[in-house]
Amino acid sequence: MEKQKIEFNIPANLHFSSLVRNIAEEVFSFVHFSKGWCNRLKLVVDELFMNAVKYGSTENQSMVHIYFTYNDKEVQFQIEDDGTGPQVISAETLKSLIYKNANQNDVTKTSGRGLAMITTLWTDKLDIKESSYGGITIAFSKTIETQPPPPPPLVKAVISQSAEPLKSIEQKKPEGSAATMPAFTVKLHGDIDQLNIDKLVLLVNEQIATLPKEATLVLDFSELDYINSTFIGLLASWLNDVKQKGGQIVLKNINDQIKDVLNLVGLGKVLNIE
């Protein structure tokens, strides 16, 4: 196949995040990446778009420039902003930050670490340079993978000590206690990204604030399709808060894509996943 190119300019607004994710998934699927790899690369694209909008652009005024170039061997993705955002940063500084964040092990600091890890571990080549539009260009390439991705590498996890109505369920206390401790369930829906995460944070924070001592907070992922790196950091923070009350967090009904991401950052080792 000769190289093909898809190019589009999209307003700097997080409302278009789902559109960008859908286009990315269609492209990666079209060139025959396995479903597992499609999910991984879609997350990379989503994180890069979010960063371009939040940090490199002026909302609703700037345009974000996106390119997919592909043949039957690899896909190249490129995104450019105009550098008018709240955080002016050079390409060299950003490159240094990404590689620094990729090597730190605190899962509670996923704001930069999530992007750093997925770009360095899930892509073959990452390139960061100044953009002709005045901002930064980030590009990655990935050889087409038709097989499911291998298990994520072992990562050290460092942890310090609109949803459905909450309902009480019974769960056994640790061995040696005949009593039961209360559990409260929050059911999550759809895609969690920067557009809707604030509502979720408020809901879960309120539930944790009123959670009895030694209680269990159950997060039901049965209707959840997608999470971003911000949500990963929140999970780590919530785990710390609940542990301080002597309780625990249980994640139920997680799909393979989300489990893959949690394992990548090390949370799969410290969270109770059923």
> Percent of the chain having pLDDT more than 90?
49
pLDDT of residue 113: 52
pLDDT of residue 152: 64
**What's the chain's average pLDDT?**
83
What is the b/e burial string over 47-62, where b = at least 16 CB atoms within 10 angstroms of the residue's CB?
A: bbbbbbbbbbbeeeeb
Residue 158 lies inside a defined structural domain of this protein: no
pLDDT of residue 268: 79
CATH (domain of 121) = 3.30.565.10
Using the 3D structure, point to which of 143, 158, 176 is the last residue of a domain.
Answer: 143
Lowest mean pLDDT among 20-24, 163-167, 252-256: 163-167
pLDDT digits (tens, 9 = 90+) for 102-155: 665 555 554 445 667 778 788 999 999 999 999 999 999 999 998 888 766 654
> Do 76 and 182 share a domain, yes or no?
no
Can you tell me the distance from the alpha carbon of 45 to that of 188, in angstroms, rounded to the nearest whole number? 23
**Long-range contact pairs involving 169-176 (C-beta distance under 8 Å, separation at least 24):** 169/218, 171/216, 171/250, 173/214
> Do 128 and 48 share a domain, yes or no?
yes
Lowest mean pLDDT among 67-71, 118-122, 234-238: 118-122
pLDDT at 56 over 90: yes
Can you tell me the distance from the alpha carbon of 39 to that of 72, in angstroms, rounded to the nearest whole number? 19
CATH (domain of 212) = 3.30.750.24
pTM: 0.81
Within 8 A by CB and 6+ apart from 205, the residues are none
pLDDT digits (tens, 9 = 90+) for 13-55: 999 999 999 999 999 999 999 998 999 999 999 999 999 999 9
pLDDT of residue 127: 94
Within 8 A by CB and 6+ apart from 29, the residues are 35, 38
Task: Name the residue range of residue 104's domain.
Answer: 4-143
Q: Which residues are bridge partners to 186 per DSSP? A: 219
Using the 3D structure, point to which of 105, 127, 143 is the last residue of a domain.
Answer: 143
Q: Is 80 helix (H, G, I), strand (E, B) or coil?
A: strand
What stretches of 13-109 show up as alpha helix (H) in DSSP? 17-30, 35-56, 91-102
Q: Is 185 helix (H, G, I), strand (E, B) or coil?
A: strand
Lowest mean pLDDT among 191-195, 264-268, 270-274: 264-268
Structurally, how many domains does the chain consist of?
2
pLDDT at 166 over 70: no
> Do 138 and 245 share a domain, yes or no?
no
Can you tell me the distance from the alpha carbon of 188 to that of 221, in angstroms, rounded to the nearest whole number? 6
Inter-residue contact 36 to 260 (CB < 8 Å): yes
